[in-house]
Structure 1
Amino acid sequence: MSRFDGRPSDAVLDGIIAVARAAEDADGHEPFNEQTRIELRRGENVWGVIVSTDQAASTDQAAGPENAESQPRESVVAAAIVTGGPSEPATVEMAVHPNNRGFGMGQDLADMLVTQLEGRTVNVWAHGDHDAARTLAERVGLERVRELWSMRLCDPASLPATPEVAGVSIRAFDPNKDADAWLDVNAAAFASHPEQGKLTRSDLDERLAEDWFDPAGFLLATDDESGDLLGFHWTKVHAAHTDERGTEHPAVGEVYVVGVSPDAQGRGLGKALTLAGLNHLKDEGHQTIMLYVDADNAPAVALYDSLGFERWDVDVMYTKDA
């Protein structure tokens, strides 16, 4: 295994991306969250990257499953990404290529991380509540502390109309004039959120430059008199694609993030914005809409339940204190 401080080379980065895509196709969810991928590309806030290459895989495969020799090779077959500054908890995400699982690579990565991060608080995200992740967490002394639910709506035709809110208009985001106001409202709305509330202008610009970004799906609620930004619903579309096994995956809409300024709460804006975004995705022809919500956010879970969303998957955060 090799460790890279900060941003790895383009070749290694491409290998990590290939592993992530293969893992997503096999598991149904991305192994590295969006902020991790952005920071990895920039080489910022990345403590280190640990990768296992195909040479290491060959050694493990010699004693592994009988079909190991027929598996396709990848230059990178497993990776762990560690983010967070020296004064912050280290956040870890890991992935092993589906063709190279069952050889102990996950355990090897975890053992190396435990050794190198000794003395720091460590938060590990397991995207998908899998038996293997639970077993690995128990072996290295990690405690389950947070659940992030993935929910899906598979019948958007049943959605109610978007309710009107007196004195409020909903319009599309304008990258040339709305960025600073959005950052202020986002920070206020998510002041206690460990990830969303920390977004910077650089983080926003990275997202605006993504292929999936569509300003028509980034909805803002503004005050009719003052023009002040009161809240927002940013939607996202995961493009249709065919994976390396030839399986076709249709496009999926996403409730990317919904936020309301604390000064504007209590007016029904949250539900109105949620439905505005959902109806936008429905009108665009998307038959499946997904979202992520913290399991302990009872009001949000209740709203999504009432709109027909069902729990689809679970991401789990495990922690080991310093």
Structure 2
Amino acid sequence: TEMGQGLHTKIGQIVAHEFGVTLDNIEVTATRTDKVPNTSPTAASSGTDLNGKAAQNACITSKERLAAFFAEQFNVPAEDVIFAAGQVSAGGHHLPFTQLIQNAYMARISLSATGYYRTPKIYYDRETGSGRPFFYFANGAAVSEVSVDTLTGEYTLDKVDILHDVGTSLNPAIDRGQIEGGFIQGMGWLTTEDLRWDDSGRLISNNMATYKIPAIGDTPAHFNVALFDRPNAEDSIYHSKAVGEPPFMLAISVWCAIKDAIASLADYKVDPDLPAPATPEKVLMAINAIQNGGGEQ
């Protein structure tokens, strides 16, 4: 399901690459159970991994049919047929991709295919707590710099530098956007999004006025994101890696920076008690505790 994360763009890119055509030749439509009845939900940052591989598998099936048809028409080996730059070619023979499709249609060659993919190598035994629940890991590093007002507990995030592992990026612009968005969401989780209940157990931080999510003004002026460009060692789609949720954890650096700033008041000899989310109120309480001789040595 496309929900703003660029999934349709990436799937379109994959199909365009497989057929050797430009992206504007590809139309991606929304998921519907009358088209694909047993899709998995778009969750766990698996959208491109699962749908991309399934789309690629469908393309491979169609290309095999088209290559066999082209080979028969021009008496060339099917394995020599190449789809590239909007052309299909082999043995010195060329046809525009669109012309080959028209010829195949007239020759009653099937032009539809279903692709399926399930993540390999994963298994887990809950009884023994053993197995391999993940196909691969995505890694990242973040350095955050904050300024804390010791009189009010308010703070600003001034600088962030991120290096994140996306494997071979399918779309660097989308991946950077996902990393930036995931980081800011994680920052909200650890600094402002404070869940509160009343004495009867009813949630009272239930709207945008009482449950504070980050706004554009919370984005640091210095916000650098670099992609660690190393292909995924596993056979994911074009050796890319998931990039939706992993960057979320990089925002732990913001919480750590706030805690370090508070610790500086005691020359880093005291470990401040700073629960998450580190709201200004909790930051001020941690500051007062240190200034009054509290905290862990």
TM-score, normalization by structure 1:
0.23
- Name which one, 1 or 2, has greater alpha-carbon Rg: 2
